[in-house]
Structure 1
Amino acid sequence: MRIKKLIAFFFVLFAISTTNAQTKKFTIHTVAFYNFENLFDTINGTNNDEEWLPDGTQNWTSNKYKQKLHNLARVISEIGSTDNPNNSPTLIGGCEIENRGVLEDLVKEPALINKEYGIVHFDSPDKRGIDVALLYQKKHFKPTSYKNIPLLVYRNQINQAAKDKNEADDASDDKSEIDKNLDRVYTRDVLLVTGFLDGEEVNVMVNHWPSRSGGEKKSSPFREAAGRLNRQIMDSIFKINPNAKIITMGDLNDGSYNKSVKEGIGAKRKKEEVKQFGIYNPFEEMFYKGNASLFYRDAGDIFDQIMVSEALIKNDYSTYKYWKAGIYNKPYMITTIGQYKGYPLRHSMTEIGFSDHFPVYIYLIKEVK
């Protein structure tokens, strides 16, 4: 009898614990990154945008531009809706953006206009004029500072790699421009935005690392430099606040397993491996489980990643913490026929798609007392 009573007691205790867990309530925010792939307007600018004009090779008309905006807005409005159905992302990092004007057009789309997104954007030295930017919901996030930090890379960084490796040039329209006088390779800046998310300070970095033009191994030193720059920025923030909440995101043109991420940033695959000042990368585990945000040389990979500092993975939800990550790849965003079946549905001469990347996202949650 005593054993039966003891078992019954434990059942009651378990039921109470389960009930208490179920009654907990959380505030949730989605943080996302999306490569908008050639978000150009139809106006001839000072950048190399001739391809994306009405009389250019893409025959980029106003109607096509408007359809592209509509498609992107639809996706953005739905990212993270599985677990956060009542709101679109609070923070959205983006890349392959021609200028601030296209972002102003984007946030005025019917699917987004009621969210009242603010914009942080700088023109980068990239000759095609494809920049990075951060969109944020003004009612939830209040920027206090923002700046663009240049990535200084030079052609002589890859001279030895070029001698050692004989690679075919990767097919890509994301070519790096080289200053023949300085040998500098012009690429995108890193965008750093600091602000308050519902009163809590958060630092957000948005990246678009140098492409694999010229070959993966030959161009790797550029991305390794980008990883080290990310680490330097983080360390400078940690000197001011050892418990800083940092989110770094972007199209890295490298996988989570590459040297640029593993050594440059020092990102870890598992939470328990992350020490103070460390960085957790949930997309590394997702990659090894077979997920992909794009297809590179006919193989799926995750070049689009969001990583968080140690302060965001502690098991105390009295302030905002990382919960989980995902890749948003609904059927309407996927090519259904032909050679590229299963790939992201991108723009072609006959169809205005979305992007050659799927967006990625994480959730930040805080317990409501």
Structure 2
Amino acid sequence: MDTVYYLAWWNLENLLDVENADRPEWRKKKIGKYIIGWNAEILSKKIRNISSAIAEMNNGIGPDIIGVCEVENERLLHLLAESLSITGRRYSFVHFDSSDKRGVDVAFLFDEALFEVPKNLLFTVRLHKRSATRDLLQAEFITKKGKSLIIIGNHWPSRTGGQYETEPFRIMAAETLSYWLYQIAEKRGNDQPVLVMGDFNDEPFSRSITEYALSTPNIRLIRSARKDQNGIFTPYLLNLLWNEMADGKGTYLYNGKWSVLDQIMVNRAIALNKGFTVLSAGIYDHPDLLTPGLNSSPKAFGAPSKARRDLKGNIRESYGTFWSKGYSDHLPVVILLKEN
């Protein structure tokens, strides 16, 4: 019987610790106003909402692996893993504390009954030459059959300050990712399966993605790739979210326009069914995660500090500011991967 894994990625929209949590002074200055009123009750609501949505995935049993970003610290990952016990699974996680000014980190939560994750094979990189950093996180997942799947989680620099003004920072991230893929092939061989997921803050057709991360929707280009003098194929990536754009879908809504900022890509080995085969991939646009009506948008959680108040000073919850029944301003992306 084939083993099929359900993997997901989700930007959790500023999953931050409580207002009075112990954090570095430089981080307090960056996020201080945002977390005014962010108390244990608010945090608990957000974690419950997120975990309930994650638990609904994969026909109600939760994903086997989920990559996340915008999580401030390890304590919150513990709380999220504990909350996910509603799936009947026992989730562990891998994470590195980054130097991002808001403390928004990348992590993987995984079913520890299905995978072994060697801690000595975790790699992360910090992107310098800018005031804030975003990390790439690489982890290796060993299945019960002993097969290796390397996953690289990405949260590339944002477009704050202008899409094109900030593009060089995302190009740096893309070049770093491509270098990692080449290094993996050098050390493990061309048949090592690698899956890349993340919030890239660029779309599948963006220059950083196509020219520097070498991502393409063209499987023929990947099949015809040539080896260099070291015997390594050009590290193309097959972008599995490209077709979602044609359907007018997206993972993030800005000024009424959907963008596919969250993506899943696979390397040549997986694209050619070596070790694993992609069965399907797409955007997880569950109705619970979207506002009602024709012009729906991700049901963001927001923050009390952004909410309007009535004449008595009470918070008036509304979409787009603070909605305690919300989840995130991004939609998740998912993939079904068969172990060959």
What is the TM-score when the length of structure 1 is the normalising length?
0.77
Query: Which residue is 2:213 aligned to?
Result: 265
Alpha carbons of structure 1 residues 216 and 354: separation in structure 2 relative to 1, 3 Å: same
Query: Which residue is 2:157 aligned to?
Result: 210
- What are structure 2's unaligned runs of at least 5 residues? 224-232, 308-316, 318-322
Equivalent position to 2:265, from 303, 307, 313: 307
Equivalent position to 1:361, from 316, 330, 334: 334
Q: Does 1:33 align with 2:9?
A: yes
Q: CA RMSD in A?
A: 2.1
Query: Which residue is 2:300 aligned to?
Result: 346
Alpha carbons of structure 1 residues 57 and 29: separation in structure 2 relative to 1, 3 Å: closer
Query: Which residue is 1:282 aligned to?
Result: 240
CA distance in 1, matches of 2:164, 2:31: 30
Equivalent position to 1:91, from 60, 65, 69: 65
Query: Which residue is 2:229 aligned to?
Result: none
**The residue matched to 2:330 in structure 1 has which SS?**
coil
When structure 1 is superposed on structure 2, of 26-35 and 289-298 the one drifting more is: 289-298
- What are structure 1's unaligned runs of at least 5 residues? 1-24, 155-183
CA distance in 2, matches of 1:30, 1:347: 25
CA distance in 2, matches of 1:200, 1:136: 16
Equivalent position to 1:325, from 269, 276, 281: 281
Map 1:226-245 → 2, pairs under 5 A: 226-240=173-187, 241-245=189-193
Q: Deviations over 1:226-281 (max 9, x none)?
A: 11110000000011221110111110000000011101111111323323542100
The answer to whether the 8 A contact 2:244-2:283 is kept is no
Q: Deviations over 1:181-204 (max 9, x none)?
A: xxx432111101123123211111
Equivalent position to 1:221, from 161, 164, 168: 168
Amino acid at match of 2:176: L
Map 1:78-157 → 2, pairs under 5 A: 78-79=56-57, 81=58, 85=59, 87-109=61-83, 111-112=85-86, 114-144=88-118, 145-152=121-128, 154=129
**Moved segments of 4+, more than 2 Å:** 47-53, 55-58, 110-114, 270-273, 275-278, 313-316
Q: CA deviation at 1:118?
A: 1.1
CA distance in 1, matches of 2:259, 2:205: 10
CA distance in 1, matches of 2:127, 2:96: 14
**The residue matched to 1:185 in structure 2 has which SS?**
coil
The answer to whether the 8 A contact 1:50-1:56 is kept is no
**The residue matched to 2:195 in structure 1 has which SS?**
strand
CA distance in 1, matches of 2:238, 2:86: 30
Q: Does 1:335 align with 2:335?
A: no
Q: Deviations over 1:62-87 (max 9, x none)?
A: 111111001110111122x2xxx364
**The residue matched to 1:260 in structure 2 has which SS?**
helix
When structure 1 is superposed on structure 2, of 354-363 and 37-46 the one drifting more is: 37-46
CA distance in 2, matches of 1:362, 1:98: 26
Map 1:182-197 → 2, pairs under 5 A: 184-197=130-143
Q: Count the aligned residue pairs.
A: 304
Alpha carbons of structure 1 residues 113 and 325: separation in structure 2 relative to 1, 3 Å: closer
Query: Which residue is 1:254 aligned to?
Result: 202
Q: Does 1:61 align with 2:43?
A: no
Q: CA deviation at 1:298?
A: 2.0
CA distance in 1, matches of 2:34, 2:257: 31
Q: CA deviation at 1:49?
A: 4.4
Amino acid at match of 1:290: G
Q: Which one has a bigger Cα radius of gyration?
A: 1
Alpha carbons of structure 1 residues 279 and 342: separation in structure 2 relative to 1, 3 Å: same
CA distance in 1, matches of 2:28, 2:298: 24
CA distance in 2, matches of 1:197, 1:49: 40
CA distance in 1, matches of 2:332, 2:193: 22
CA distance in 1, matches of 2:29, 2:6: 36
Q: Deviations over 1:94-114 (max 9, x none)?
A: 100000000100111155463
Alpha carbons of structure 1 residues 297 and 245: separation in structure 2 relative to 1, 3 Å: same
The answer to whether the 8 A contact 1:92-1:134 is kept is yes
**The residue matched to 1:354 in structure 2 has which SS?**
coil
Alpha carbons of structure 1 residues 127 and 57: separation in structure 2 relative to 1, 3 Å: closer
Q: Deviations over 1:333-361 (max 9, x none)?
A: 11226xx9411011243222100000001
Amino acid at match of 2:137: L
CA distance in 1, matches of 2:14, 2:273: 40
Amino acid at match of 1:345: K
The answer to whether the 8 A contact 1:37-1:96 is kept is yes
CA distance in 1, matches of 2:28, 2:147: 40
